[in-house]
Amino acid sequence: MDSLLSKHWHNLPHDAVAAQLKSNITEGLDTFEIAHRQKHFGPNRLTPKKGKSPLVLFLLQFHQPLVYILLAATIITLALQEWVDSSVIFGVVLINAIIGYIQESKALKAIEALTRTMDGTATVIRTGKKQQVAASDLVPGDLVLLQSGDKVPADMRLLQTHELQIDESALTGESVATHKQTEPLSLETVLADRSNMAYSSTLVTYGTGTGIVVTTGDYTEIGYINTLIAGVDVLATPLTRKINRFSSILLWVILGFAGLTFFAGWLHGNSLLDSFMASVALAVGAIPEGLPAAMTIMLAIGVNKMAHRHAIIRKMPAVETLGSTTIVCSDKTGTLTQNQMTVQYIYTGGKRYNITGTGYAPTGEIFLDTSKIDPDTQPALIECLQAGLLCNEARLIRHDAQWLIEGDPTEGALIVAAAKAGLPQDTLTKDFPRIHALPFESQHQYMATLHALNAEMAVIYLKGSVESILARCNIACGADAESLTLNKERIHQEVDAMAEKGLRILAFARKLQPASIQTVNHDDVVEGFCFLGLQAMMDPPRKEAIAAVNACQEAGIQIKMITGDHVTTAAAIARQIGLDGAIDKETEHFAVSGQMLSDSPDPDLAKTAQQAVVFARVAPEQKLRLVEALQAKGHVVAMTGDGVNDAPALKQADIGVAMGISGTEVAKEAADMVLTDDNFATIAAAIEEGRAVFDNLVKFITWTLPTNLGEGLVILVAVVFGLTLPITPVQILWINMTTALLLGLMLAFERKEPGIMARPPRHPETPILTRELGFRIGLVSLMLLIGAFGLFEWALSQGRSLETARTLAVNVFVFGALFYLFNCRSLRYSVRELGVFSNHWLLLGVTAMALLQIFFTYSATMNMLFGSAPLGMIEWVFILFSGLVIYSVVGAEKWLRRRSDSRNSG
């Protein structure tokens, strides 16, 4: 029985399928066989992946180098009996762990959403009787009846169809409903072209059919996608990778300096306890306690900003990942295009007309060459548009000031085109009432409708593929609706020209009949028709998407289109939005098909993935392979998608982007970000915000490390030279926590810097801190060391108390950090260029910090808690002067570096 699960069912005749499945195509399965197969195959459900327990998932949030440092700080402060400080530090760790746990739990709900898509009922024939059963009770061999509105409950080989159309966009990415038939197909037929199959979780949009279940549960195509999702590892984001690497280095540096401090104290004859406490003071000083909280808050602010730009972030590190993105793999339909078919050209009466306007709104104008025309003066044009309007099953409706189509989007485009010429659907259907119709069938490739013209005459309108319609015509309609000789060669020239633009082309014809004719059948449409013309349409690109693609390319980001549509259509859209300008002219392939990808070994696939721009007719596992191939080349990949078939690739990508309007729940659960407007332009805006968030994170790290390093150096120098500690561990914690909260976090509100989208993406392996920033951090640390230690020793030499000297050193660190904060508002530009008052939050934080330090210095309570003491005017002059020196030196260094860079670039 298990051998049934791997058959190429689309390649077999339906009687052979029934024989393989040991089922009867009229009676179905008997009760005994159903029970046996249910026991053997199990329920028609997807098996959820067994994940980590909630406790393990929560504990894993602490498994990070930076968290180790903070846990060590908690233990150290507990040892010092500083209960408030230890509680604050551990509180930061706990909050970060809770946030990480919640986000990871949400990410793992993708498979649960897939399982829910299998729910529902099915109409079956069992033991010759029609009955309704739960979809979960289906087994291979069951006969299932399908009708419009049904969700296909399992993978089926179709046995009978009547005008059956199925929307498979969630599975294949194909934007138009698939017309189904029953004949066998070649073995190599790709999933999107298997017109004799119906797949689980797709939707029947029109017609009826009967199919025999071939696979259920995990063995269906959607089940295969489920296994792909389960097998995808959740990648660390560029930010988390860099922070982990940075934290690991910082951890060893701190431990090394702490050990050196302990050893130096012991050499100087200090007691083991004193030496240990000195090393504890250094460790507390060097640990950037505020970094995790700052990172979380900055990412949260980025999340809020993106929400205002129609991007909902589900996983906070995704904010920064967007800024690191080097390649965006975008779906075509609805993201780069409007997902509204629009007639753009009409060829009739030997003339080609252009129609303006996009979407379903019936507003636009008709041009002949470059001249606007009155449609009423063009009889052939009116006749061609009228044929498209009447030979039609769709309806154009207005709902809440928005125009919508009920029915097939292609037929909807014909109605809109007619409306632009002043032909309203309601009026014409009354003036030319339909008598009878032949619905579209894939084997005939046409639709025909019979309409009453007057008391004596009726007319048959024919619509379909160019080949099918031309074969039934012997004359053509001229510009003034006169009969002309049919010039098939000229028509094919027009078809070729339109096809090169990726347009979907329909042909139209008519045949006059006596009014006594009341039905139309296939024998009536074999010959004798007058060719009316062609209507060519496409799903037009969004104007804002064109601008956004250009902005991304200028930012050094490659855009690749991955779609279920045909290669020609996808390539034409790609050229319209400017993707052809981003490819090397010597590249072998601009657009490749899913068949070409399936034939490519992994080394060739990596090359193709790097070079090609358009990937059409791709299967779910091919999307996943493409993302993996690009990541193997070192790219940070953003992947957009809306269907079930996109979920594995969305989860594998560094950042998965789902569509909020058209997206399935499965895609949204697998994604890191959801677009509420389904618009590619929102991705470009989100990338811009992501870059700004990373800039601000780097600014914070560049600002906070000199304080931590300076504090550590002060302790180290004091111990090495056998001097009194200028600052105590408790004072160090005061400096670190208050400055991080009131000063550093204000950098999160800095505006985007000029030219943020004009620079190339950061290389994924580029460290957080460059050599330039490392030099600046070392320079400021050295100035803080000299200022704090120098003024501490000066105060003692002037007879000041130890408490006063230490208060002086603490204020040197705080106000040094305060002045340096203005340097860090931009890593390259000056405060004057940014605008002194452009960040109101920063000015508020600076004011609050200054007031808090006055309280720290003069409050008796603070003097008792932190060992501080009041200062005189001369001490404050020295404190402010040391801060001003730091600001001036860093400003000069930035100016010199910019001047050097401009000379080198010139």
C-alpha 580/C-alpha 782 separation (Å) is 52
Q: Which residue has the tokens 């020239």?
A: 493
- What residue type is 335 in one-letter code? T
Per-residue DSSP letter, 723: -
Nearest to 741 by CA among 879, 849, 851, 868: 849
Is 331 one of the annotated active-site residues of the chain? yes
Element (H, E) at 436: strand 434-441
Q: Can you tell me whether residue 550 is helix, strand or coil?
A: helix
Nearest to 889 by CA among 813, 816, 810, 801: 816
Q: Which residue has the tokens 């570096």?
A: 897
User: What contacts 425, CB < 8 A, 6 or more positions away?
Assistant: 389, 395, 396, 415, 418, 419
Element (H, E) at 597: helix 594-598
Give Cα separations from 457 to 50, 228, 509 (angstroms). Answer: 70, 60, 16
843 φ/ψ angles, rounded to the nearest 5 degrees:
-65, -35
C-alpha 682/C-alpha 548 separation (Å) is 8
Counts of helices then strands in the chain (DSSP H, E): 32, 28
Inter-helix orientation angle 272-286/729-742, to 10°: 10
Question: 301-312 burial, b for 16+ CB within 10 Å, e for fewer?
Answer: bbbebbeebbbe
C-alpha 213/C-alpha 223 separation (Å) is 14
Beta-sheet pairing, 129-134 with 155-167: unpaired
Give Cα separations from 773 to 513, 701, 826 (angstroms). Answer: 84, 10, 12
For residues 756, 762, 766 and 770, what is the CA-based torsion angle, rounded to 10 degrees?
-20
Which tokens go with 751?
Answer: 């505006």
Per-residue DSSP letter, 824: T
Cα Rg of the chain, angstroms: 35
What is the end-to-end Cα distance of the chain in Å, rounded?
A: 74
- What residue type is 844 in one-letter code? L
C-alpha 196/C-alpha 211 separation (Å) is 9
Q: Which residue has the tokens 């996109």?
A: 646
C-alpha 641/C-alpha 637 separation (Å) is 13
C-alpha 107/C-alpha 793 separation (Å) is 56
Q: Can you tell me whether residue 27 is helix, strand or coil?
A: coil
Nearest to 692 by CA among 345, 391, 190, 306: 306
C-alpha 640/C-alpha 561 separation (Å) is 10
Of these residues, 142, 331, 565, 646, which one is catalytic? Answer: 331
Beta-sheet pairing, 121-126 with 143-147: antiparallel
Which tokens go with 640?
Answer: 């957009």
Residues annotated as catalytic (active site), given as ranges? 331
